[in-house]
């Protein structure tokens, strides 16, 4: 293929190709798309000897040629944290959404090297994460915790792929887009090789708060979360399993005694089975936890609403999968339940499940494994002037992590 872009006359062809839609058979650096496209034989015939003729008839013929060219657009993917709770979802989501995957690299710690993960009827061996793991990768999904992201995301960015990171390490950096596609998908375009995925509880709550904000202008929210143990990873799922089994044998988990073979909590400071813990993440001097403040800080960034205020209590509950959030939101404009329901029913990625008289409202068991979040229990808040109270639930492994990250990749 001629080196079109070495020729200054060819600069405009980039534009033309970008305009008509591009392909990305060969890639390098942090760009996927406009700068990297397959030029077909037909197109080469249109530009003999590198002379550019941008007349209307040439453009017309070029367009026809590009449109009928066989387009190959597949990405070499790496999943960091492939053996984790989120990692496992990445494979399912990429497969289910038919994401164009040319090759899959599954990365985890050394202890998982050689384990197998399933992707599209293929069994892929897990490799130990190394500095060289990102060679020839186009998109790297990170979900292996903050420390791994802090160390390996910069390495990955240098190696070339676009990184979509699930940790909280880079979310609030001014030059890193923090994206929920249904809300601020356009921010993806400003990326410089790294896009952050938001906190899971924040993402699920914003799926309902944002459409209401567009209609009524949100001022502040008061919220309490009910967060599933899978939000703390595979070890926490195992811990709940173990404690439930032990309780059934009348040896309930205890932080102190292990005399009767009682399991001692390891992930959480207290037993989680048959308990609720008003404690998610580390405590700050203010008395809030880090997790609780994410709704305000990340919410403000995602909604482009610097004055957004959120007072949140995050609670861990003995639910395996899917977070729920009880929200009271105060708005600038006068609200009505009917209007709010109409807005929520039309919001992308959200379903209105609000027939309390028939015992129909969102619940973790109903949203687990489901892409859309659900909202219900919509009512006028009796303690706020222009307020609505509602309940939103969503699968945090999906909309709070893997699904949202793949949706971001689909925007690239």
Residues classed as catalytic: 200, 323
- Comparing CB distances to ligand NAP, the nearer of 211 and 231 is 231
Q: Give me the least distance between CB of 25 and ligand NAP, in Å please.
A: 30
Binding status of residue 112 toward ligand NAP by CB under 6 A: yes
Cα 404 to chain centroid distance, Å, stands at 3
Q: Quick one: 189 exposed, middle or buried, by C-beta within 10 A (0-12, 13-18, 19+)? A: exposed
Concatenating the DSSP letter of every residue in 360-411 gives B---HHHHTT-SSEEEEEEEE-TTSTTEEEEEEEE-TTIIIIIHHHHHHHHH
Contact 55, 101 (CB under 8 A): no
Element (H, E) at 323: strand 323-331
Looking at 42-50, 348-356, 370-378, 395-403, which segment touches ligand NAP (CB under 6 A)?
395-403
Q: Which is nearer to ligand NAP, 325 or 344 (CB)?
A: 325
Q: Which has the closest alpha carbon to 185: 18, 23, 302?
A: 302
Q: Does 397 bind ligand NAP (CB under 6 A)?
A: yes
> Cα separations (Å) of 133 from 76, 162, 202, 241?
12, 14, 31, 34
By CB under 6 A, tell whether 201 contacts ligand NAP.
no
Q: Which residues within the stretch 113-142 sit at the binding site for ligand NAP (CB under 6 A)? A: 129
Kindly tell me which of 24 and 167 has the beta carbon lying closer to ligand NAP: 167
- DSSP state letter for 226: E
The H-assigned helical ranges of 185-287 are 200-216, 234-248
Spell out, one character per residue from 69 to 98, where the chain touches ligand NAP: x when CB under 6 A holds, - when not. ------------xxxxxxx-----------
Contacts with 127 (C-beta within 8 Å, 6 or more apart), sequence order: 105, 106, 107, 108, 113, 133
Q: How far is the CB of 186 from ligand NAP (least distance, A)?
A: 22
Q: Is 233 among the residues that bind ligand NAP (CB under 6 A)?
A: yes
Told to check if 111 binds ligand NAP by CB under 6 A, we report yes
Of the residues 200, 206, 325, 335, which one makes contact with ligand NAP according to CB under 6 A: 200
Angle between helices 337-346 and 200-216 (to 10 degrees): 120
Q: Among 7, 30, 103, 109, which residue interacts with ligand NAP (rule: CB under 6 A)?
A: 109
- Residue 392 binds ligand NAP (CB under 6 A): no
Contact call for residues 59 and 86 (beta carbons, < 8 A): no
Nearer to ligand NAP, 252 or 265 (CB): 265
263 touches ligand NAP (CB under 6 A): no
Residue 398 binds ligand NAP (CB under 6 A)? no
Q: Which residue number places its CB atom closest to ligand NAP?
A: 84
Least Å distance, CB 390 to ligand NAP, is: 22
108 near ligand NAP, judged by CB under 6 A = yes
- At what angle are helices 85-96 and 403-411 packed, to 10 degrees? 50
Q: Rank residues 24 and 230 by Cβ distance to ligand NAP and give the closer one.
A: 230
Residue 148 contacts ligand NAP per CB under 6 A = yes
Site for ligand NAP in 159-198 (CB under 6 A): 166-167
d(CA 181, CA 183): 5
**Based on the number of CB atoms within 10 Å of its own CB, is 279 exposed (0-12), middle (13-18) or buried (19 or more)?**
middle
Q: Does 396 bind ligand NAP (CB under 6 A)?
A: yes
Binding site for ligand NAP (CB under 6 A): 81-87, 108-109, 111-112, 129, 143-146, 148, 166-167, 200, 230-231, 233-235, 396-397, 400-401
């Amino acid at each position: 293929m001629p080196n079109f872009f070495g020729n200054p006359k060819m600069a405009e062809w980039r534009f033309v190709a970008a305009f008509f839609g591009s392909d990305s058979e060969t890639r390098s650096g942090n760009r996927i798309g406009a700068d990297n496209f397959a030029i077909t034989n037909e197109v080469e015939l249109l530009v003999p000897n590198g002379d550019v003729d941008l007349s209307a008839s040439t453009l017309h013929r070029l367009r026809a040629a590009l449109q009928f060219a066989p387009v190959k657009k597949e990405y070499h993917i790496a999943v960091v944290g492939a053996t984790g709770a989120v990692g496992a979802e990445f494979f399912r989501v990429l497969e289910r959404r038919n994401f164009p995957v040319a090759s899959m690299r599954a990365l985890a710690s050394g202890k998982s090297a050689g384990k197998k993960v399933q992707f599209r009827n293929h069994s892929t061996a897990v490799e130990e994460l190394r500095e060289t793991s990102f060679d020839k990768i186009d998109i790297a999904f990170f979900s292996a915790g903050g420390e791994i992201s802090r160390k390996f995301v910069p390495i990955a960015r240098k190696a070339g792929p676009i990184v979509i990171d699930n940790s909280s390490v880079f979310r609030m950096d001014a030059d890193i887009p923090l994206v929920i596609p249904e809300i601020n998908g356009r921010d993806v375009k400003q990326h410089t090789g790294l896009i952050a995925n938001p906190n899971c509880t924040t993402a699920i709550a914003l799926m309902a708060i944002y459409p209401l904000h567009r209609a009524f202008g949100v001022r502040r929210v008061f919220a309490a979360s009910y967060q599933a143990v899978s939000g703390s990873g595979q070890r926490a799922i195992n811990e709940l399993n173990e404690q439930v089994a032990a309780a059934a044998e009348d040896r309930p988990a205890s932080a102190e005694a292990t005399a009767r073979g009682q399991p001692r909590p390891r992930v959480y400071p207290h037993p989680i089975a048959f308990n609720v813990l008003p404690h998610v993440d580390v405590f700050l001097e203010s008395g809030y936890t880090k997790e609780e403040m994410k709704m305000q800080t990340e919410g403000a960034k995602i909604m482009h609403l610097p004055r957004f205020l959120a007072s949140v209590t995050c609670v861990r509950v003995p639910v395996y999968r899917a977070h729920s959030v009880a929200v009271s939101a105060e708005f600038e404009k006068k609200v009505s339940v009917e209007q709010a329901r109409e807005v929520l029913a039309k919001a992308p990625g959200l379903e209105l499940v609000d027939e309390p008289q028939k015992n129909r409202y969102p619940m973790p068991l109903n949203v687990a494994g489901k892409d859309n979040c659900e909202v219900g229990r919509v009512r006028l808040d009796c303690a706020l002037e222009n307020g609505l109270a509602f309940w939103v639930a969503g699968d945090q492994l999906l909309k709070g992590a893997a699904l949202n990250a793949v949706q971001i990749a689909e925007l690239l």
